[in-house]
A = this chain, B = another copy of it.
Amino acid sequence: MAKVKIGVIGAGSIAWSSTLIRDISLTKGLWGSTVTLMDINRERLEITYNFARRYSSEIGADLKFEKTLNMLDAIRDADFVINTALAGGHNYYEKMRAISEKHGYYRGINSVEWNMVSDYHTIWGYYQFKLMREVAEAVEDVSPTAYLILLANPVFEGTTLLSRVTRANVIGLCHGHLGYQTIAETLGLNPSDVSAECIGFNHVIWLTKFTCKGEDAYPLLDEWIAKSSEKYWVRWRKRQKGPFDIQMSPAAVDMYRRYGLFPVGDTVRGGTWKYHWNLKTKKMWFGPTGGPDSEIGWRIYLEGHERQMSRITEALYDSKTPLSNILPPKMSQESVVPIIDSIANDGEGLYQVNILNKGVIDGIPDDVAVEVPAKVDGKGVHRVYVSSLPKSIMKYVLYPRMLRMEWALEAFLEGGRDLLFDWLISDPRTRSIRQIEETINDLLSLPENKEMAEHFN
């Protein structure tokens, strides 16, 4: 049992932190460790801290929890630093979305080909990138041997940025690849019989291998599409299980037909404007909610998020009912704690991670973060051999997405109004040069964007 220190930046988001705390509490290999919870919001931090103490004690986990408003306290002497913070919070980005929409940019200027996810902030992610870099630089300074685990989005841009501009040992994580289990279940397969390889960039991963008991399961998927998909969609259109129920949507099947491999998890939320042109289009491809990134789906998501926070907060006021009634003591499928366990206790495991490519995926530059399976043990992360991606995915998906990543990072690193202009001048929602200028002006006039406005001046 390794006793480590885990610093959690942005721990105030109880919806997420509660899962982390549960998983750590259930992982005996990490008992004896210290978890330092950090947030800039004192009230929310307090909630997480109280939750952590009570939950772990209910479980009987031997863990020490600390709370701090000071980022450096969470990072100093840490073996692992988890960054899950969203600079500015959801409301701030919703304001920018509203301004964008006023000027004709449906779902915001940030939503572009292969990045339609509503809280994957790239071109307008100035503060988010700044915070990510601050955390990474602090790790570099005070805990240079720590692993920096990036859970905060945008994981693709963030992992690439931090790996390029700092020496922090960055691992980006996302649970989207678990979508393969939904594929398996829909085909009537037992997920535990199924093995999948999903590779690409975060939120743009493709099912390069899909086997059931060692046999290729793609033919079963083809058969399902040919024989069962239409019937499935009729039922699904009546009873979509919430906006995230899109793994087997017409959008996913159309992407498979077009690009040659099945898209997994958040990948289905992406695509070109073909799938996203307006709410009507979104409903056609993503069901009655229009998927998680329509105005309908996103409201449902944000409200659900709020409800989950309230539910846990209320539970904390009720000292009689065990918290494990709210959050049963069962490991989530998030990989962050198992990865920490694998590293801390040198127990080899295969995990889906985001790391610099360095030759793993053919045709992608070495200094771009890819999402791939990798071996993790006490010595860290080890790249493993993965499949090649077909040229349809390279040329029509990964290269365009990579370009937008480069533009987003350049905008953050270099600043200047031109970089916002060049982002918008190639946007299919742009109708005139005046529209671009007015959109930029209005976004940068937001009181919260004072510093950002100087950066892009």
| Chain A residues close to B by CB (< 8 Å) | 113, 258, 272-274, 277, 281, 363, 365, 391-392, 395-396, 399-400, 403, 406-407, 410, 418, 421-422, 425-433
Residues of B contacting A421 in the complex (Cβ-Cβ under 8 angstroms): 274
A-B contact pairs, 16 of them (CB 8 A): A258-B418, A272-B422, A272-B425, A273-B425, A273-B430, A274-B422, A277-B432, A392-B410, A395-B403, A395-B407, A399-B406, A400-B403, A400-B426, A403-B403, A426-B426, A426-B428
- Check A396/B407 contact, CB under 8 A, given A258-B418, A272-B422: yes
- Among B395, B400, B422, B429, the residue within 8 A (CB) of A410 is B395
CB of A54 to closest CB in B, whole Å: 50
Extra contacts, 12 of them, besides A426-B428, A428-B429 (Cβ < 8 A), are A113-B425, A113-B426, A272-B426, A273-B425, A273-B433, A363-B365, A392-B410, A395-B406, A396-B407, A396-B422, A399-B406, A403-B403
Residues of B contacting A432 in the complex (Cβ-Cβ under 8 angstroms): 277
A277 engages B433 (CB within 8 Å): yes
Residues of B contacting A277 in the complex (Cβ-Cβ under 8 angstroms): 432-433
A425 engages B395 (CB within 8 Å): no
Tell me the bound Cα distance from A365 to B410 in angstroms.
Answer: 21
Tell me the bound Cα distance from A395 to B414 in angstroms.
Answer: 13
Minimum CB distance partner of A410 in chain B: B395
- Among B400, B418, B428, the residue within 8 A (CB) of A428 is B428
Minimum CB distance partner of A391 in chain B: B410
Residues of B contacting A272 in the complex (Cβ-Cβ under 8 angstroms): 422, 425-426
Tell me the bound Cα distance from A113 to B424 in angstroms.
Answer: 12
CB of A44 to closest CB in B, whole Å: 38
Minimum CB distance partner of A402 in chain B: B399
- Among B274, B425, B433, the residue within 8 A (CB) of A433 is B274
Tell me the bound Cα distance from A367 to B19 in angstroms.
Answer: 48
Residues of B contacting A428 in the complex (Cβ-Cβ under 8 angstroms): 425-430
Minimum CB distance partner of A430 in chain B: B428
CB of A93 to closest CB in B, whole Å: 24
Residues of B contacting A392 in the complex (Cβ-Cβ under 8 angstroms): 410
Tell me the bound Cα distance from A272 to B423 in angstroms.
Answer: 10
Minimum CB distance partner of A277 in chain B: B433
Tell me the bound Cα distance from A431 to B429 in angstroms.
Answer: 7
Tell me the bound Cα distance from A151 to B243 in angstroms.
Answer: 54
Residue from the set A407, A421, A422, A432 with the largest chain B CB neighbour count within 10 Å: A422
Minimum CB distance partner of A416 in chain B: B258
Tell me the bound Cα distance from A396 to B429 in angstroms.
Answer: 19
Minimum CB distance partner of A434 in chain B: B277
Minimum CB distance partner of A433 in chain B: B277
Minimum CB distance partner of A407 in chain B: B395
Minimum CB distance partner of A421 in chain B: B274
Task: Give 3 nearest A-B pairs by CB, closest first.
Answer: A272-B425, A428-B430, A395-B406
Residues of B contacting A425 in the complex (Cβ-Cβ under 8 angstroms): 113, 272-274, 428
Minimum CB distance partner of A273 in chain B: B425
Residues of B contacting A396 in the complex (Cβ-Cβ under 8 angstroms): 407, 410, 422
Tell me the bound Cα distance from A277 to B431 in angstroms.
Answer: 9
Minimum CB distance partner of A395 in chain B: B406
Tell me the bound Cα distance from A272 to B425 in angstroms.
Answer: 7
Tell me the bound Cα distance from A425 to B113 in angstroms.
Answer: 9
Residue from the set A396, A399, A421, A429 with the largest chain B CB neighbour count within 10 Å: A396
Minimum CB distance partner of A396 in chain B: B422
Residues of B contacting A406 in the complex (Cβ-Cβ under 8 angstroms): 395, 399
CB of A218 to closest CB in B, whole Å: 20
Residues of B contacting A403 in the complex (Cβ-Cβ under 8 angstroms): 395, 399-400, 403
Tell me the bound Cα distance from A422 to B274 in angstroms.
Answer: 8
Minimum CB distance partner of A276 in chain B: B425
Residues of B contacting A427 in the complex (Cβ-Cβ under 8 angstroms): 428
Minimum CB distance partner of A419 in chain B: B396
Tell me the bound Cα distance from A391 to B426 in angstroms.
Answer: 19
B433 engages A281 (CB within 8 Å): yes
Residues of B contacting A433 in the complex (Cβ-Cβ under 8 angstroms): 273-274, 277, 281
Residues of B contacting A426 in the complex (Cβ-Cβ under 8 angstroms): 113, 272-273, 400, 426, 428
Tell me the bound Cα distance from A406 to B422 in angstroms.
Answer: 21
Tell me the bound Cα distance from A206 to B363 in angstroms.
Answer: 25
